[in-house]
Chain A
Amino acid sequence: MFEFVLKRVLQAIPVLWIVITVAFLFVHAAPGGPFSQERAVPPEVLKALNERYKLDQPLLIQYSDYLRNLARGDLGPSFKYPGRTVSEIILAGMPVTFELGFYALLVALAVGIGAGILAATRPNTMRDYLPMSLAMVGICLPTYVLGPLLVLFFGIRLEWLPVSGWGYLPGDKILPSMTLGLAYAAYVARLCRGGMLEILSQDFIRTARAKGLPETTVIYKHALRGGLQPVVSFLGPALAGLLGGSFVIETLFQIPGLGRYYVQAAFNRDYTLVLGTTIFFSTLILVFNLLADIATVWLNPRLRQEDGARA
């Protein structure tokens, strides 16, 4: 197992390098710069600023400087938030984004697995069609449509829940988490239904029934573990998607998370902040995918043992 993790970590390094390089080139290729504003800045000031942040240097020099600093763990200063480094901004926004992602994941798994089991245990009945049709709607509906709809209904019409903020009013975390999680709940539900249906048709399920076990034991003890495998493999990409989705949600609900900084940084050509957040999110996505792979192996005794035998 250790060897496997090490290998994957080493594989991640070139991936990250490509991400950094492409992002660096794109950011610098975009027209304008961090200091171009609607009101023209006097040329001397602009020149001084560019010199100060070494933006007058050739691109290759800037690039190699950036990589050198990065290797030391220094993501540089932010251009738009004077006096704050990119690392500080990321550390400040991270807990909020993580919390949002965590709640959204809980929603996705609880609703998705529940609906999947419900559908798989009575295939081709109303109990199957109804949740699966809803899941289809959930997949088709983008979060920036679902979000305002939920706000309109629960926030404005019913006045049950606050419509923005994070941690200011009781219950204000519910709507953003639901909005973000429900889309993924739909995917999870479909994957869980498929996985469960396949396992439920296996011979060993017949054996479990022939032993006279109650149906709940058959489903939760014998079928669920194998049935969840597709869901577990999906968790890596899903977490990446959740983080990506958080950009929209944080903007929509006025949440001071990383995603909002990211979006603003892109608008502002805040070169270092865009690059810093990109690197941060790419690393997270790589880590989550690795964790999902490890979980898949660990859940399947067959793979687990083979790997253990050779480690």
Chain B
Amino acid sequence: MALLSVKDLSVCFHTRLGLARAVDRISFDLETGRTLGIVGESGSGKTVTAHSLLGLLPSPPARIENGSALFDGIDLLRAPEDVLRAVRGNRISMIFQDPLSSLNPYLTIGTQLIEPLRVHGGLSRKAATERAMAGLDEVGISHPAERLHSYPHEFSGGMRQRVMIAMALSTAPDILIADEPTTALDVTIQAQILDLIRHLQGRHGIATIFISHNLGVIAGIADEVMVMRRGVCVERGSAEDVFYRPAHVYTRQLLASIPTRGKPTPPPAESPDAAPLLKIDGIRVSYAQRKAPFGRRPTARIRAVDDVSLELHRGEILGLVGESGSGKSTMARTLLRLVEPDSGSLTMEGVPLGSLRGSALRAIRPRLQMIFQDPYSSLDPRMTVHECLREALLQRAPASREQVLRESTQLMLDVGLEPAQIGKYPHEFSGGQRQRIAIARALAMRPELIVADEPVSSLDVTVQALILDLLLELNRRRGVTLIIISHDLSVIRYVSDRTAVMYRGRIVELGATEDLFREPKHGYTRALLSAIPIPDPRVERSRRRTFYAEGEQEAGKMAPSTQSPLF
């Protein structure tokens, strides 16, 4: 008899447009100590499935239509609220995607940690505090006694997720549900958190439901895998079966869409003696530390970019990779003169960009364009695609109405959109289509250089590959020089000719992409490469990761621990 047995679970949402089926007849069994990985793209119903097991769905609009979820003789889908509450956070715990928003900012870590112990275990405040300290210690947080009095915002993202894990495991649950627990974290931190979950799960014999959109993560942690798409389970089986012998077309498509195979075409021929398109020399950028409330004087400056020099050749694709806070976005903004550097020079074909002012600066702006991460917020929701493109086209040169229409239609075709849809508003398009609109808008200026800041990180994997292919095609056909910024190494590897690795404001390694991936020289690059999850269960489970810890400790939040897992 399985620990948890879900049969024919169906969930509907009542919307203004009628009934939407989010989950459609999902069934699975979970055995003690085993891990079920649920994988799928956004909107596939994986989170709804998890939430419905704990009665966390907002109802209305959600309604459980059908099915049963038997856990220790209790049907979780039909149990009364008080029975469910005794299970929730006690025998079945959950950790969430974003550890920043999932912890209460108004209460100390300690207060939040002891709550489940006091409510479910009936422990005294003192006993609960001791257990909470032991829990923090177990997830690798040093000085637990002091940390109990800290508020969530005093922890880094990875540390917060450790706190969440400690909280979820404090009541020794039978089942842990982890909903995208590492998605909001950097890859190296992700690797640490995954190791931690695996370790604790093994030690306490907890069954886990692990939800992720990332096949590599699932490959490393799941015994069994369920692939979901549009609320339906398309495939279920052992990790080996699903990864090595995928039966369903969609699973194969998912596996194939992961950009791992490297750039399909060799880098365009460039004459080495030609002058570089863009020359960056010794750029430094710093920000005033966030102002205290009520306009106090800033007391410190944070160096975001520290002495970066780079040459960019016409027609090449440069990948800029780094984790959050490494300065890559600041770098991009500096190149476009959206941020003023403290020192250093920036020259585009001999023209010093740094000294341009007013109309001279405006004249050069069209040659440098940018594509942003979030196509939801970077397009004006009140402008149709046509208005958006027209604005860009007219900015470049005056043109008649017919010319504008002809050119914007051509742009739509170039980025793979239906020209008939030109009168629509951004919200009527999907995420991938919106990113195509953003690309069309950048192209309307006929730029020589496009800086794409995390162009695919808010998109589903199957869509990511299509957008990357589009960027590659633009590079080949139009000769546009590209700087692609990403935290995702596989994206960088897929598109870029040369790759620069940024760490703490500096470029620590720069080289031809394939060389850099095959033989990383810098310790940080090696750590980064070893942290990427690979969608291959056998490889992923037996991998040894290397850690890089130059100044790794986050202001006393964590003892520096090199070369060893953190528990």
Contact = CB atoms under 8 A, between A and B. Distances in A.
Interface of A: 3-4, 7, 202-204, 206-214, 217, 221-222, 225-226, 297, 299-303, 305-307, 310
A212 B102 contact: no
B101 A212 contact: no
B469 interface: no
The 4 A-B pairs at the shortest CB distance, nearest first, are namely A211-B89, A212-B89, A212-B88, A203-B101
A305 B293 contact: no
A283 B544 CA distance: 68
Interface stretch (B92-100, B241-249, B454-462): B92-100
Nearest to A202: B101
Interface stretch (B112-120, B352-360, B505-513, B528-536): B112-120
Contacts of A4: 294, 296
24 contacts: A202-B101, A207-B104, A208-B115, A209-B88, A210-B56, A210-B88, A210-B93, A210-B94, A211-B88, A212-B86, A212-B87, A212-B88, A212-B116, A213-B116, A217-B119, A221-B107, A222-B107, A301-B151, A301-B153, A302-B151, A303-B293, A307-B292, A307-B296, A310-B299
Given A203-B102, A207-B96, A212 B85 contact: yes
Nearest to A299: B106
Given A297-B293, A301-B151, A306-B293, A204 B103 contact: yes
Given A208-B104, A209-B56, A302-B105, A203 B98 contact: yes
B101 A204 contact: yes
Contacts of A225: 106-107
B292 A310 contact: yes
Given A4-B294, A212-B116, A212-B119, A301 B89 contact: no
Interface of B: 54, 56, 85-90, 93-94, 96, 98, 101-108, 115-116, 119-120, 151, 153-154, 164, 167, 290, 292-294, 296, 299
A207 to B, nearest CB: 5
Nearest to A300: B106
A294 B108 CA distance: 20
A202 B299 CA distance: 32
A305 to B, nearest CB: 7
Nearest to A205: B104
A213 B115 contact: yes
Contacts of A310: 292, 296, 299
Main secondary structure of the interface of B (DSSP, over half): loop
A306 B86 contact: no
B119 A214 contact: yes
Given A207-B164, A214-B119, A301-B153, 15 more contacts: A3-B296, A203-B101, A206-B56, A207-B102, A211-B89, A212-B116, A213-B119, A222-B107, A225-B106, A297-B293, A300-B106, A305-B151, A306-B290, A310-B292, A310-B299
Contacts of A297: 293
A222 B112 CA distance: 9
A206 B102 contact: yes
B101 A302 contact: no
Contacts of B89: 210-213
Contacts of A207: 94, 96, 102-104, 164
A214 B101 contact: no
A212 B81 CA distance: 10
A208 to B, nearest CB: 7
Contacts of B167: 211
Contacts of A213: 85, 89, 115-116, 119
A154 to B, nearest CB: 40
A204 B163 CA distance: 13
Contacts of A221: 107
Contacts of A226: 105-106
B178 to A, nearest CB: 12
A29 B270 CA distance: 84
Contacts of A214: 85, 119
Nearest to B154: A305
Contacts of A222: 104, 106-107
A293 B294 CA distance: 10
A209 B92 CA distance: 12
A39 B292 CA distance: 63
A284 to B, nearest CB: 21
Contacts of A209: 56, 88
Contacts of B164: 207
Contacts of B94: 207, 210
A94 B102 CA distance: 48
Given A212-B116, A214-B119, A302 B153 contact: yes
A212 B566 CA distance: 29
Residue among A4, A203, A299 with the most chain B CB within 10 A?
A203
A206 B294 CA distance: 32
Nearest to A229: B106
Contacts of A306: 290, 292-293
B116 A211 contact: yes
Contacts of B104: 204, 207-208, 222
A302 to B, nearest CB: 5
A147 to B, nearest CB: 38
Nearest to A222: B104
In this complex, which of A226, A297, A302 has the most chain B Cβ atoms within 10 angstroms of its Cβ? A302
Q: Which of A212, A213, A226, A299 has the most CB of B within 10 A?
A: A212
Contacts of B86: 212
A308 B259 CA distance: 48
